[in-house]
Amino acid sequence: MSESTGEPKDLFTECKKNAEKFFYEIDKSTPVYHQTATDIQKNYLDAWKNVINSSIALQQEFATKSGMNVNINEDSMKAIQNITEQAITAFQNQNKFALDSTETSKKIFDAFNENTKTIAALNKNMIELMLSAMKTKTQN
């Protein structure tokens, strides 16, 4: 329970204070979420890199011990290189899409915030107009 100072509390001041407290706590957690997402992505990539490298090493060991011929022709080598380049291009396109989407989302939020300010100003003007009309009516 909070202690009462005996002073009257203003509803809007209390709401604003609590909203600021709420968003302050959220702001504090944002870097933690960012770091966690970054760590998870790195762990994911490290795991896949380990799986692929282990698989290549195991297959290479098997081929060596069994005496398999592992030489490839030029066309096969080009096909492998082409697949790698296509995978890199796909990743780069996915990354560009994600960055573009993030930038678009930022612009949307900026526009939303500007519209909110405009609507708040319009609402304030409407309240002032209504209060003015009410005062005029009570003075008559």
Q: 63, 70 in Cβ contact below 8 A?
A: yes
- Could you give the number of structural domains in the chain? 2
Same domain for 13 and 67, yes or no, is yes
**71, 87, 103 — which closes off a domain?**
71
pLDDT at 4 over 70: no
Q: What is the pTM of this model?
A: 0.61
Query: Which residue segment(s) compose the domain that 85 sits in?
Result: 72-140
**Residue 3, in any domain of the structure:** no
Measured in degrees and rounded to the nearest 5, phi and psi for residue 4 equal: -95, 130
The predicted-structure confidence for 95-139, as pLDDT tens digits, reads as follows 999 999 999 999 999 999 999 999 999 999 999 999 998 887 777
Same domain, 125 and 140: yes
What is the C-alpha to C-alpha distance for residues 54 and 56, in angstroms, rounded to an integer? 5
Same structural domain, 50 and 80 = no
pLDDT tens by residue, 26-64? 999 999 999 999 999 999 999 999 999 999 999 999 999
User: Using CA atoms, how far apart are residues 82 and 47, in angstroms rounded to an integer?
Assistant: 24
Residue 134 and residue 122 share a domain = yes
Q: How far is CA 85 from CA 47, 79, 81, 128, in A?
A: 21, 10, 6, 64
